[in-house]
């Protein structure tokens, strides 16, 4: 049995929703950069992954669509950014890419709108575009 976490449940819901609302050619990618809890095997695996290019603090999700890149860091309602995640956020934003902390599907949809990413629902609703 797999142990489930609130962040993982939130992330699954966000990915499911993004697959519905974003254009079909959009890429939604999760960078699996978490190894697990301590111990020598976890440290060894982390060292291997770091050598292969895993970047400390890398966002949970990357959305590529319409020539835009948006990094989404998924947290539970009480979750906080680690120092590595704050450093990654600052580096990404300094390079002109979008980054958002999201705690729900609604936050993720808001982040898309805040970064000018049009969803299929917006594209199909000319009235909504006129009001925006």
132: in domain = no
130: in domain = no
Q: Domain holding 40: CATH number?
A: 3.40.1350.10
131: in domain = no
The model carries a pTM of 0.83
Contacts by 119-123 with C-beta closer than 8 Å and gap 24+?
119/21, 119/22, 120/20, 120/21, 120/22, 120/23, 121/21, 123/23
Number of compact structural domains in the chain? 1
Q: Where in the sequence is the domain holding 104, given as residue range(s)?
A: 6-124
Per-residue pLDDT of 26-48, as tens digits, reads 999 998 776 666 788 878 888 88
In this prediction, residue 111 carries a pLDDT of 97
83: in domain = yes
d(CA 77, CA 90): 22
């Amino acid at each position: 049995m797999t142990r489930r976490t609130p962040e993982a449940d939130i992330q699954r819901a966000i990915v499911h929703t993004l697959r519905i609302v974003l254009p079909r050619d959009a890429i939604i990618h999760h960078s699996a950069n978490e190894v697990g809890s301590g111990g020598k095997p976890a440290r060894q695996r982390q060292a291997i992954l770091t050598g292969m290019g895993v970047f400390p603090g890398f966002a949970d999700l990357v959305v590529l669509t319409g020539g835009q890149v948006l990094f989404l860091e998924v947290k539970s309602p009480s979750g906080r950014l680690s120092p590595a995640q704050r450093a990654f956020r600052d580096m990404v934003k300094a390079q002109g890419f979008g980054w958002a902390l999201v705690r729900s599907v609604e936050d993720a949809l808001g982040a898309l709108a805040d970064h000018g990413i049009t969803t299929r629902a917006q594209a199909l609703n000319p009235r909504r575009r006129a009001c925006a």
